Structure 1
């Protein structure tokens, strides 16, 4: 169990991708120490470790990992289980992944470690600064001491920290994909259509801002607008024709129209 009289914490970092490169500097800024970085890509680990004070780069997974109060697996979902199996964990190590869709039960394959989840609900992109105090952080752990450690670590970064079991976390992750990834994809379609018409993408900015502001201030289904809500058949038909060069988007338009109308 972590002795919080010795807080801040030693955080061993596994990963050097988008989450790791945003999370590591934030942990250091909060006063924690990252003793090492390990990544499947040595160059990535070296680049990240170089940005952190006194962080060591681990070149191979065959040695026992250095001591840490918590080990964070900031990896893609598919890489978590292989990393758990490949690395040599100190007995009783508290190991937490950062994934939204992976259950706590994946740690059952490694009974020598204490499993946990440290899930930041945010999108991470190169060159984009993260306002960590506003990021919701969902915490789950296999034992009370592990949960206390992860909660304390999370609270050093964010004002929005809460326990979150695997089932609700998966539901949250699905919701986040709709709100973030799918929305971004639709904006990409809109951007392409404007480019094809020789129109600037900036034309949509006021509309997008108002749409998001309205959806955040109200139950989104209650403020839906557009030709699907109005059952405006001539406009829907015109849009169908306008999308003839993009049959996949044409089908998506029809599916979204049907989904909107089903909510009325």
Structure 2
């Protein structure tokens, strides 16, 4: 299928390369910054970089909207697509209806809207086995559903039809599982760095923690540490150590209380 990517960030980078690896043709890559579009196009076979959202003459049949949620209004207000085009967004929080409403307002021709949401953390330039990435699909058109399914099953072994309400819940859960967890690891490193200790000392512990959590029926079953044991002596020593950093102190207290309440 002939596909164009609207966006040149982390999600766009992985999708464009993966789709082309599975014999789809990437026609254009849009970015407000020409350099970003050209950088991604340099990794593709024949894609053209563009800063113009007028795709009226494009050969693409399927367009992937992979821009930040805050950019939707501006992008969709300028977007011009060919007749019978399919436009699929990659947002975890925006609904199918959100996209449909914007296209109805700003587009003269009917546009078949859909969702093509990869539930994964992406970093441009970092290789990833896309076969393991869950793809969450949504459309209210049976023909579009079939097209989404065929494309998704080519690139991933984990394909689901998930509606907008369910996707929003998944995205909240993903922030806890991914973003907040990574932030806690970053804070852990600030603690070791402050005392000139090697963060690598914690990596076997981190690895084992994730292994246990992923293998358990419920991560709560493998919770360890002073909070779950209600070891006030250790908790108080930790709090004393953190007194000079109000941010870390607050996070420690909130998480300790949450573990104990759970």
TM-score (norm 1): 0.93
Aligned residues: 255
Q: What 5-or-longer segments of structure 2 have no aligned partner?
A: 105-109
Instruction: Note if contact 1:133-1:159 (Cα within 8 Å) is conserved in structure 2.
Output: yes
Query: How far does the alpha carbon of each residue in 1:155-192 deviate from its partner, in whole angstroms, 9 at most, with x for none?
Result: 11101011010111111111111111000000001011
Measured after TM superposition, the shift of residue 62 of structure 1 is: 4.3
Aligned to 1:36: 28
Measured after TM superposition, the shift of residue 58 of structure 1 is: 2.3
Instruction: Note if contact 2:54-2:81 (Cα within 8 Å) is conserved in structure 1.
Output: no
The equivalent position to 2:164 in structure 1, one of 163, 166, 170, is 166
Q: Distance in 2 between matches of 1:63 and 1:230?
A: 60
Aligned to 1:256: 255
Measured after TM superposition, the shift of residue 74 of structure 1 is: 1.3
Instruction: Note if contact 1:118-1:138 (Cα within 8 Å) is conserved in structure 2.
Output: yes
Query: How far does the alpha carbon of each residue in 1:201-227 deviate from its partner, in whole angstroms, 9 at most, with x for none?
Result: 111111111111111111111111111
The equivalent position to 2:114 in structure 1, one of 91, 116, 130, is 116
| 1:194 and 2:192 matched | yes
Instruction: Note if contact 1:65-1:88 (Cα within 8 Å) is conserved in structure 2.
Output: no
Q: Distance in 2 between matches of 1:94 and 1:142?
A: 12
Point out the more displaced range, 172-181 or 77-86.
77-86
What's the secondary structure of 1:209's corresponding residue?
A: helix
Aligned to 1:4: none
Measured after TM superposition, the shift of residue 35 of structure 1 is: 0.9
What are the equivalent positions in structure 2 for 1:130-141 lying under 5 Å apart? 130-141=128-139
Instruction: Note if contact 1:120-1:135 (Cα within 8 Å) is conserved in structure 2.
Output: yes
| 1:90 and 2:82 matched | yes
Measured after TM superposition, the shift of residue 243 of structure 1 is: 0.9
Q: Distance in 2 between matches of 1:148 and 1:35?
A: 22
Q: What 5-or-longer segments of structure 1 have no aligned partner?
A: 1-8
Instruction: Note if contact 2:55-2:82 (Cα within 8 Å) is conserved in structure 1.
Output: no
Aligned to 1:241: 240
Point out the more displaced range, 89-98 or 183-192.
89-98
RMSD across aligned C-alpha pairs, in angstroms? 1.3
Measured after TM superposition, the shift of residue 96 of structure 1 is: 0.5
Measured after TM superposition, the shift of residue 25 of structure 1 is: 1.0
Instruction: Note if contact 2:63-2:87 (Cα within 8 Å) is conserved in structure 1.
Output: yes
Q: Distance in 1 between matches of 2:15 and 2:229?
A: 45
Instruction: Note if contact 1:65-1:87 (Cα within 8 Å) is conserved in structure 2.
Output: no
Q: Distance in 1 between matches of 2:91 and 2:185?
A: 25
CA 1:213/1:171 → structure 2, altered by over 3 Å: closer, same or farther?
Answer: same
Q: Distance in 2 between matches of 1:58 and 1:126?
A: 19
